[in-house]
Amino acid sequence: MSAHTRLERRIESPDPAATSALGLALAKAARPGDLICLWGDLGAGKTHLAKSIGAGIGVTDTIASPSFILMAEYVGRLPLFHLDLYRLADAADVLAGGLIDDRQSAGVTLVEWPDRMVGVLPTERLDVFIDGAGDASRTITVRAGTPALQRYLDVIP
Ligand SMILES: Nc1ncnc2c1ncn2[C@@H]1O[C@H](COP(=O)(O)OP(=O)(O)OP(=O)(O)O)[C@@H](O)[C@H]1O
Ligand SMILES: [Mg+2]
């Protein structure tokens, strides 16, 4: 398959350290305005991956699960915006005006539980699906919504 048509990559992550390594690698491709959706069940490792993407972007503050706030903002080489929509039954109405506002266009936005806003997700996004939970190995699929986002696939070891 040529690089032009490669829009998806799948890796096995046997342990948390392997998921962290993936996050650090993905961060190398991060550019202002990028949207990264983190899909997966409870305890799949979305926040774990978010922390390592943040570390790769140079965030030194602790990235936590923003359970009671919609969005947390961190400072790195780019601003990092971390959303956790778990508590929203349906974020589509709330976010109908758009997920990315002017401030976010300067940084990278990570969204946990994007399932809550499937109706209004822009096509131009990177999807990361984490399959597995508990101590089991994870299968992680990274999918570029547009050819421009293929740069994320190219940095995966
Ligand atoms: N291969 C792996 N990759 C990522 N995390 C793993 C892996 N194996 C075990 N874990 C563990 O799974 C847990 C994942 O927790 P995490 O909070 O990241 O999940 P989450 O998807 O954000 O859940 P929630 O939906 O509740 O926010 C961590 O305790 C982590 O150490
Ligand atoms: Mg989480």
Q: What is the pLDDT of residues 134-155, one digit of tens each?
A: 999 999 999 999 999 999 999 9
CATH label of the domain that carries residue 95:
3.40.50.300
- Whether 9 is in a domain gets the answer no
Please check whether residue 48 lies inside any domain of the structure.
Answer: yes
Per-residue confidence band for 45, with pLDDT thresholds at 50, 70 and 90? very high
Q: What is the pLDDT of residues 8-34, one digit of tens each?
A: 999 999 999 999 999 999 999 999 999
CB of 48 shorter than 6 A to ligand 1: yes
Reply yes or no on whether the pLDDT at 102 is more than 80. Answer: no
Establish if 3 belongs to a structural domain.
no
Size of the chain, expressed as the number of residues it contains: 157
DSSP conformation letters of 12-27: EE-SHHHHHHHHHHHH
Question: Would residue 73 count as lying in a domain?
Answer: yes
Flag whether 76 is in a domain.
Answer: yes
Give the three-state DSSP class for 94: coil
Number of domains in the chain: 1
Q: How far is the CA of 45 from the centre of ligand 2 (A)?
A: 7
Q: Which domain holds residue 64?
A: 16-154
Pairing of strands 138-144, 126-131: antiparallel
| Ligand 1 near 19 CB (within 6 A) | yes
- Give the whole-angstrom CA distance, residue 129 versus residue 123: 16
Whether residue 58 lies inside any domain: the answer is yes
In short, whether 56's Cβ falls inside 6 Å of ligand 1 is no
pLDDT band at 100 (very low <50, low <70, confident <90, very high): low
- Residue 7 placed within a domain: no
Q: Is residue 107 included in any domain, yes or no?
A: yes
pTM above 0.85, yes or no: yes
